[in-house]
Amino acid sequence: MTQFPIMGVIEDRIAQLGLVLPAPVSAPGGVRLPFRQVRVVGTIAYVAGHGPLAADGTLVEPGGKVGAEVTLDDAYGAARLTGLAMLSSLSRALGDLDRIAAWGRVFGMVNVAPGFDRMPEVINGFSDLILEVFGPETGAHARSAVGQAALPFGIPVEIEAEVHLRA
């Protein structure tokens, strides 16, 4: 299990909560990912879509559609794991999560079975994690939660974000 060095207040908070940031994503079956997980431009970090990862960087099971193969509770957990994957990418890109001044916008996508309409409850797994780690001021964010007919590799949740950095 990979753990990154504790550097600041946010990393200490992650450790206090008993959370572990996963290793970088391990693309399945020879898939090429020719983009950055985090792109910093000025004081904004654009975070590419992330899915739920195990500690070793592999995609977490169960995969599939929420409301069919994946329960609401499992999807909430997957959104929480997606948050940890995103924090791991941000930590590697920024060197210190204390550089985050504010979470700006979060876009959550849920792989849904026909008729499933509880996407906001799924993405709450991500939002709850960010608020636990960063607190109500820095962790507050604008958010969308939408349903999709499919997501890459059958993952139940994919989330992207824009994060504001300290100058």
**Residue of 92, 87, 99 lying closest to 9 (CA atoms):** 99
pLDDT tens for the chain, 167 residues long, are 444 444 689 999 999 999 999 999 988 888 888 999 999 999 999 999 999 999 999 999 889 999 999 999 999 999 999 999 999 999 999 999 999 999 999 999 999 999 999 999 999 999 999 999 999 999 999 999 999 999 999 999 999 999 999 98
Domain spans of the chain, in order of start: 9-16+37-165
Alpha helix positions (H), 17-118: 72-94
The pLDDT value recorded for residue 160 is 98
**Residue of 137, 26, 152, 167 lying closest to 88 (CA atoms):** 26
Q: Amino acid identity, residue 68?
A: A
- Domain 9-16+37-165 listed as CATH 3.30.1330.40: yes
